[in-house]
Amino acid sequence: MQLDAKTLDTLAWLSRLDIPAEEEEALSSSIAEMLTFFQQLSALDTEGVEPTAHIAPLENVLREDEPFSERLDRDLLLSGTESEDGLITLPKVVG
């Protein structure tokens, strides 16, 4: 299995990763190796097998539509991030 430079580029962009040029080759072959494992899985005959939606034998795990009365304090909620006036601070997105 081969992974061309363009695909690696796309993957990096989708993941918002800057990959240093000297790491590209090692990463390419490592991902290619992973894809080879999947190729092995693809060799299995899955004719007539229902696609698996979830590995746990569970269904309909649902909750009632009732609000929880005690809310977490905003200062606590935002304590792990930079914030100003209750808003989570971000790099400038628009304009």
Q: Which residues in this chain contact another protein in the complex, by CB under 8 A? A: 10, 13-14, 16, 53-56, 58-68, 71-72, 74, 77-78, 83-95
User: Tokens 């569970």 correspond to what residue?
Assistant: 58
Shortest spacing between CB 15 and another protein, in angstroms: 9
Shortest spacing between CB 23 and another protein, in angstroms: 20
The residue type of 93 is V
Shortest spacing between CB 20 and another protein, in angstroms: 20
d(CA 7, CA 3) in angstroms, rounded, equals 7
Nearer CB in complex with another protein: 22/67: 67
Nearer CB in complex with another protein: 43/94: 94
d(CA 36, CA 31) in angstroms, rounded, equals 9
Nearer CB in complex with another protein: 22/85: 85
First to last CA, the chain: 43
Rg (Cα) of the chain, in Å, rounded?
23
